[in-house]
Amino acid sequence: MERRDFFTVMAGAAASISTMQAEAAAACLPGNVTRAQFRRFITDSANLLGSDHVVSDVDSLRPYARSMLPFEEAAHSPAAVLSVSSVDEVRSVLALARRSGVPLWPTSTGRNMGYGSMTVADPGTVVLDMRRMNRISDMDPVLGTVVVEPGVTYKQLQDFLKAEGHDFWLDFPGPGPIVSPLGNTLERGEGQTPYFDHFAHSVGYEVMLADGTLLRTGFGGIENTTSWQAFKYGYGPTLDGIFTQSNFGIVTRMGIELMPAPEAHRTGMAVWANEEDIAKAIDTIRPLRIDGTIGNSGTVGNSTIIASGVGRANLYTGEGAIPQDVTIKWAQDIGLGAWIYMFSVYGRQEKVDSDWAHIVSRFEASGAKVLADIDDPAAYNQLTLKSFELFKWKRSRGLIWFSPVAPARGEDVARQMTLAKEVMSRYGMDFMTGMTVTGRSTLNVMPIVYNKEDEDETRRARECMNALIDAFGEAGYGIYRTGVGFMDRVASHHGAVNLDVNQRLKRALDPDGILAPGKSGIRTC
């Protein structure tokens, strides 16, 4: 039986792909790879990696082409997937890619749910699956640092720490057990403990550039380095940041700072009853975060996101977006309210007790009630898949994360809420939010949950996301992270100079444009 490859499928699908990505890809795909060049690349890759580690027929590629985002598969489908097991293999694959002009999209565990999973920005890019590179090394129990490869998952790292008898906490994102610290950090992901800012707690990268050069950032370049994972900044420009949310290199190893288990900790939930209380809530939380009294970013959730596990159909069967009143009433009936804030305090017992008392008095003065010792698995350092409650809302796996940032001022956050609700209700999408309060900013992470089996709803979800990006951009708000299919639009709100400088860096580090074209809207042209 003849195996259909990417070109066969694209011939049929080309007419129906009308996204900005497809247009940009047509203009910029390096060298306009021919079918013969692509086949040669696949044959050479199979010779190099073994045919078991090369997937290129369309049926086997299907799982890699699927994501929760509202696009046709062909719009962001990879043309092949190559699975590598070592730095030497990465270098050899890069040589093949440069020769043939076939672009590569590196992934760690490729879960990135609601942001595109393993799909690629520009169709036809080949996924470089790094799950087989899953070694843990350089554990330093004194400084509390460890080095991981891309395929190491949080679960694997936690098992390793336990088996070695170390008492460190990991800070994992929502879908914790199955994703990788390295992939999540490169996306500048967030968790729930005081080490919630994953980029801030990464230290010392090993990066392969497009030409096969292996760069070690920070103090990693010093022969016999003693301090690669001890000091992040290095000498001269600090480079780590340019390899996050970017396509300037393939990160093959990364150091992580580990949080020592605290002597004591306590988790609570503050509840504000009414929808208009959000500004008061943020203005109460901010100073407690900035002065460190509340030790983690915590999450501010609205009543609809809290209700997601109950299932939408059990709460509302009317037309259009669910009215907030419905979920607020549901929340009030179970002793919650329009807004909840999950937070934790950490340290020695007397510090925990005194911080706790101070926080409770502040929250109560703002009109909130505080529920103590809430069972929050994230704060208690257990691995959890709890964020997947979201999928019970519509019993469908259609999900887009819309993640704007606001200054942590009540008036700004309230303005974002009003704006989001207005845009989302125009497209019949339910308003949900789970905000991370970093201190001076809030990452207002809003899931757009939709039914992917319903064509009209999928179209509305896509248009809603585009409208949200534009409305927030025009109101002066940036986006913390976005998925394939929306990257060019988000980049367009950050100004021509920003894009131009990114393109200059791209051309300097990857002149052939073979690494992840379209990532964060960056291409060589």
Nearest residue by C-beta to ligand ADP? 183
Closest approach, Cβ 248 to ligand ADP, in A, equals 9
Q: Is 107 one of the binding residues for ligand ADP (CB under 6 A)? A: yes
- Of 105, 55, 98, which Cα lies nearest the Cα of 76? 105
Listed ranges 105-113, 265-273, 289-297, 468-476: which one lies at the site for ligand ADP (CB under 6 A): 105-113
When the beta carbons of 173 and 337 are compared against ligand ADP, the nearer one is: 173
Closest approach, Cβ 137 to ligand ADP, in A, equals 16
CB atoms within 10 A of CB 500: 10
Listed ranges 110-118, 162-170, 269-277, 389-397: which one lies at the site for ligand ADP (CB under 6 A): 110-118
The correct pick among 108, 202, 303, 444 for binding ligand ADP (CB under 6 A) is: 108
Instruction: Tell me the three state secondary structure of residue 270.
Output: strand
Closest approach, Cβ 354 to ligand ADP, in A, equals 37
Q: Is 399 one of the binding residues for ligand ADP (CB under 6 A)? A: no
Q: Is 442 one of the binding residues for ligand ADP (CB under 6 A)? A: no
Closest approach, Cβ 111 to ligand ADP, in A, equals 3
Closest approach, Cβ 439 to ligand ADP, in A, equals 24
Are 36 and 107 in contact by the 8 Å Cβ rule? The answer is no
Annotate each residue in 157-196 with x if it binds ligand ADP (CB under 6 A) or - if it does not, as one string.
Answer: ----------------------xx-xxx-xx---------
When the beta carbons of 210 and 465 are compared against ligand ADP, the nearer one is: 210
Site for ligand ADP in 122-161 (CB under 6 A): 130, 150
63/59 Cα distance (integer angstroms) = 8
The correct pick among 112, 217, 416, 433 for binding ligand ADP (CB under 6 A) is: 112
Listed ranges 108-116, 345-353, 403-411, 424-432: which one lies at the site for ligand ADP (CB under 6 A): 108-116
When the beta carbons of 87 and 471 are compared against ligand ADP, the nearer one is: 87
Q: For the chain, percent helix, then strand, then coil, each to nearest 5?
A: 40, 20, 40
Closest approach, Cβ 449 to ligand ADP, in A, equals 20
- Of 388, 347, 348, 380, which Cα lies nearest the Cα of 193? 380
Q: Is 251 one of the binding residues for ligand ADP (CB under 6 A)? A: yes
Q: Is 110 one of the binding residues for ligand ADP (CB under 6 A)? A: yes
The correct pick among 30, 101, 103, 106 for binding ligand ADP (CB under 6 A) is: 106
When the beta carbons of 112 and 344 are compared against ligand ADP, the nearer one is: 112
DSSP assignment string, 69-123: SSS-GGGG--S-EEE--SHHHHHHHHHHHHHHT--EEEESS---TTTTTT--SST
DSSP assignment string, 484-508: TTSHHHHHHTT-HHHHHHHHHHHHH
395/94 Cα distance (integer angstroms) = 41
- Which amino acid does the sequence have at 217? T
Alpha helices (H) along 386-481: 410-426, 455-474
Give the phi and the psi of residue 38 in degrees, each rounded to 5: -65, -45
Are 424 and 464 in contact by the 8 Å Cβ rule? The answer is yes
Extract the tokens encoding 233: 């900044």
Closest approach, Cβ 246 to ligand ADP, in A, equals 8
In this structure, the dihedral spanned by the alpha carbons of residues 370, 375, 381 and 383, taken in order and rounded to 10 degrees, is -140
Closest approach, Cβ 187 to ligand ADP, in A, equals 5
Q: Is 84 one of the binding residues for ligand ADP (CB under 6 A)? A: no
N residues, the chain: 525
- Of 341, 332, 349, which Cα lies nearest the Cα of 370? 341
Residue bearing tokens 């709100």: 493
The correct pick among 76, 98, 111, 201 for binding ligand ADP (CB under 6 A) is: 111
Closest approach, Cβ 154 to ligand ADP, in A, equals 9
132/61 Cα distance (integer angstroms) = 18
Closest approach, Cβ 115 to ligand ADP, in A, equals 7
Listed ranges 45-53, 104-112, 414-422, 497-505: which one lies at the site for ligand ADP (CB under 6 A): 104-112
When the beta carbons of 146 and 182 are compared against ligand ADP, the nearer one is: 182
Q: Is 65 one of the binding residues for ligand ADP (CB under 6 A)? A: no
Contacts of 329 (CB under 8 A, 6+ apart): none
- Planar angle of CA 51, 134, 390, nearest 5 degrees: 100
Closest approach, Cβ 393 to ligand ADP, in A, equals 22
Beta strands in 274-362 (DSSP E): 299-302, 339-347
Extract the tokens encoding 155: 């679960």
In this structure, the dihedral spanned by the alpha carbons of residues 178, 183, 185 and 188, taken in order and rounded to 10 degrees, is -100
Give, rounded to a whole angstrom, the gap between the first and last alpha carbons of the chain. 40
Total residues contacting ligand ADP (rule CB under 6 A)? 20
Q: Is 250 one of the binding residues for ligand ADP (CB under 6 A)? A: yes
CA separation, residue 189 to residues 81, 145, 182, 448 (Å): 24, 19, 10, 18
Annotate each residue in 485-524 with x if it binds ligand ADP (CB under 6 A) or - if it does not, as one string.
Answer: -------------------------------x--x-----
Residues that bind ligand ADP (CB under 6 A): 106-112, 130, 150, 179-180, 182-184, 186-187, 250-251, 516, 519
